[in-house]
Structure 1
Amino acid sequence: MGRWEPDARGRLEQAALVLYAERGFDQTTVEDIAVRAGLTKRTFFRHYADKRDVLFAGAGVLQERVLDAVTGAPRTSSAIGAVAAGLEAAAGLLQDRHEEASARQAVIEANPELRERELVKLADLARTVAEALRTRGVPDRTATLAAEAGIAAFKVAFTGWIGQSPPPDLAPLIHEALDDLKSAVSDVR
């Protein structure tokens, strides 16, 4: 067993995605993942609390990247402009992970419990983006609307992105979704 080879965390993530695709999420155990990665269950639990965490481990990094970009957007940016900057940062993080993101999303879509957790993750991201906008002086309701609309645009763009092979750049897809949103409300008074 190669338990002292480098990148145990990456090997566990890769093994989990392969097994979830082969057997399904519910039929895969922590032990299965550890064995496939050439590691022990104990090593698995040093990195993850449970087998769901393998799919959601990057959420903190993604949120941090988005928030840094929202906070660092030019002061002259509109609320949705600052959100767009955050979503571009997310695109930069995900762009080279198309295959992994597609496999991860397929596992999530096949399991209602995981879909719920994904929605909670995105709602938390919207909440923290709205708070970042408020610290920029954006009024409460505008901050909430911009954050929620931005996350909705991101979800639409992400779904389109993972559905394409070879993958296009994700950032332009996000901007297209934001433009579609503008068009959808252009005649609203």
Structure 2
Amino acid sequence: MSRWEPNARGRLEQAALELYGERGFEQTTVKEIAKRAGLTERTFFRHFADKREVLFPGDSPLRELLVGTVAEAPASAPPIDAVAAALEAVSGLFQERRELARQRQTVIAAHPELQERELIKLASLSSGLAEALRLRGVTEPAASLAAEAGMAVFRIAFARWITEDGGPDFSVFVHESLDALKAVTAGR
């Protein structure tokens, strides 16, 4: 085995998701993940603290992109529009990752402790959005309401996106869910 392997993190992620699907999360070991990826356990631990981190990476490009997009939205944008722009921006992160996202959600859905961790992650994303809105001068409760509404849109759009084989891009589901939210709040 060579000392340097390209895309080690991606290979480890793919191997872990395959094994979680085949054997179950609890039954899969780090050693098996590394072996499936053609890497060492040491390499695994360079990329992930433990096997849960494959599903919930500590460094979250998703959070960074959501918060950064809200921060960069035009000053005149209403809070929900700034959040909508952030949700649209994350679509690029999901391109060509639908199958991985589907595998990840299947593993999470099968384990209550992973479901709890997913809820904590979503709450953290919402908190980040609310803080970014407050930094833009949005007061409470508007900042928290817009952030929570945005995360509800995200969850619904994401759930629809991963169930549609070859369906529309994630951003289409975001737009549809935002339109539905606006219709609900307008009383239509």
| Fold in common (TM above 0.5) | yes
> Is the 1:3–1:40 contact (alpha carbons within 8 Å) kept by the matching residues of 2?
no
Map of 1:91 onto structure 2? 91
Unaligned runs of 5+ in 1: none
Map of 1:169 onto structure 2? 169
Unaligned runs of 5+ in 2: none
Q: How does 1:102-113 map to 2 (within 5 A)?
A: 102-113=102-113
Map of 2:62 onto structure 1? 62
- What letter corresponds to residue 183 of structure 1 in structure 2? A
Q: How does 1:131-150 map to 2 (within 5 A)?
A: 131-150=131-150
**CA distance, structure 2, for counterparts of residue 8 and residue 145 of structure 1:** 39
Q: Pairwise CA RMSD of aligned residues?
A: 1.5
**CA distance, structure 2, for counterparts of residue 37 and residue 2 of structure 1:** 13
**CA distance, structure 1, for counterparts of residue 75 and residue 96 of structure 2:** 30
- What letter corresponds to residue 161 of structure 2 in structure 1? W
* Aligned-pair identity (%): 59
**CA distance, structure 2, for counterparts of residue 24 and residue 79 of structure 1:** 41
Q: How does 1:2-151 map to 2 (within 5 A)?
A: 4-57=4-57, 60-151=60-151
SS of the residue 2:115 aligns to? helix
- More moved, 151-160 vs 179-188: 179-188
SS of the residue 1:74 aligns to? coil
- What letter corresponds to residue 184 of structure 2 in structure 1? A
**CA distance, structure 2, for counterparts of residue 135 and residue 103 of structure 1:** 36
**CA distance, structure 1, for counterparts of residue 182 and residue 103 of structure 2:** 31
CA deviation string 1:128-185 (max 9, x = no partner): 1001001111112100000000000110010000000103111121111111112222
- More moved, 25-34 vs 172-181: 172-181
> Is the 1:2–1:38 contact (alpha carbons within 8 Å) kept by the matching residues of 2?
no
SS of the residue 1:9 aligns to? helix
Moved over 4 A (4+): none
Shift in alpha-carbon separation, 1:179–1:58, aligned structure 2, 3 A: farther
Map of 1:183 onto structure 2? 183
**CA distance, structure 2, for counterparts of residue 137 and residue 95 of structure 1:** 32
SS of the residue 2:141 aligns to? helix
